[in-house]
Chains A and B, each alone.
Chain A
Amino acid sequence: MITADLIRRLASDVRAVPPNVVGQRIAFGILSGAAISLLLVGGLVGIRPDLDVAMRDFPFWVKWAYTVSLGVGAVLTTASLARPESTRPRWLWLLGVPVLLLTAIGIAQMAHASPQDWQALWLGRSWRVCPWIILLLSAPIFVGLLWSFRQFAPARPRAAGAAAGLAAGAWSATLYCLHCPEVSAIFVLTWFSLGMGLAAAAGAVLGRPLLRW
């Protein structure tokens, strides 16, 4: 096709683009995916019956602080990688802060417990399923983010995929907290992080083929 014709055709379809459309699309993609993940939490594993009691306690909020702060950081990274000219965000190391804080809390908890309880703190009752459920719940959110990216231009699809995967994993873990009865920080640090890491790795692998444009 002649380039001039192409331009005329493209210019016949010009819709206004709102200023903060990247943020809006990411928010919409995550929220729609999270709605499905929430249904899955309710349908597959069930919301813990003592949620109102648990929400008054420290461990619940430690878990949420951990997953929400990682979720916010991952979403900001994803938004930055949605633009073609973006380099790696300079504040990326901040994602390590929640991990370090949780490690500190975990060490403090273990110091207070006797060594024969350490294994129980670490493995809890659900270490076998926890990472896999987080990975499963992250899938709908990741699909929502794939939809968001249809109008974006990630110059590094693999990195963008990893960031989107981490965002999906962190928000899926946030929803999984509504079910998860575990209370120890070292449990969350290991098995929640593993679930989110699996989601990020899956995103990195899928980013190359799915986020190309």
Chain B
Amino acid sequence: MRNGEEQLRAMMIAGLGGDPQAHESLLTALVPLLRSFFRRRIRDAEDDAEDLVQETLIAVHNRRASYDRNRAFTAWLYAIARYKLVDHFRRRRRLCPIEELGDILVTEGFEDAIAAVLDLQRLLEGLPAKQARLIRDTKLDGLSVTEAAESARVGRSDVKVSVHRGLKALAARIRGGA
């Protein structure tokens, strides 16, 4: 998922630079993301979901001037998708039961996950490179201590100590509100 955001953003920026191929790959890569986004929220109408995918693609294309290259691409993308979804419900004048609306607005698993990854990345950036890398390897990518030690070419105890210190520093920072 970390690569997802980075790759999409790189394609978007290349497309903004005027590269039609990057733009085409971006739009193509967005189709499965948007399909799952809309299908999860409009379960009964497959055609509507596909229409919304296309409308969102058109908006991503026509309104790409509103993307800020310094910000997260997926946040921008899902803001557009959400706007199109709300617009769809409004047009249909469909009354959405309040519990379901909560689902729609809150259960955005992928989006939340992305946001969490971004927060985590920001936090990890504040650590020494070695600690950040070892935390990423062992806690996020699921490597064992031995595997992480081999890949980073350090001792096993070094891995444990670095991860421990890094996590402690992170905890201190979160408590400090930084």
Q: Which residues of A contact B (CB under 8 A)?
A: 1, 3-4, 6-8, 10-12, 14-17, 19, 21-22, 25, 82-85, 151-153, 155, 212-213
Contact = CB atoms under 8 A, between A and B. Distances in A.
A17 B65 contact: yes
A161 to B, nearest CB: 15
A84 B17 CA distance: 21
B28 A85 contact: no
Interface of B: 15-21, 23-24, 27-28, 31, 50, 53-54, 57-59, 61-69, 71, 75-76, 78-80, 82-83, 87
Contacts, number: 84
Contacts of A83: 66-68, 76, 79
Given A152-B63, A155-B82, A10 B58 contact: yes
Contacts of A11: 20-21, 23-24, 27
Contacts of A7: 24, 27-28, 31, 57
Nearest to A152: B66
A3 B54 contact: yes
Counting from the closest, the 6 A-B pairs by CB-CB distance are: A16-B18, A11-B24, A84-B79, A85-B79, A153-B63, A151-B65
Given A11-B20, A16-B16, A6 B58 contact: yes
B67 to A, nearest CB: 8
A14 B76 CA distance: 19
A22 B76 CA distance: 15
Given A7-B27, A7-B28, A14-B20, A151 B15 contact: no
A83 B28 CA distance: 23
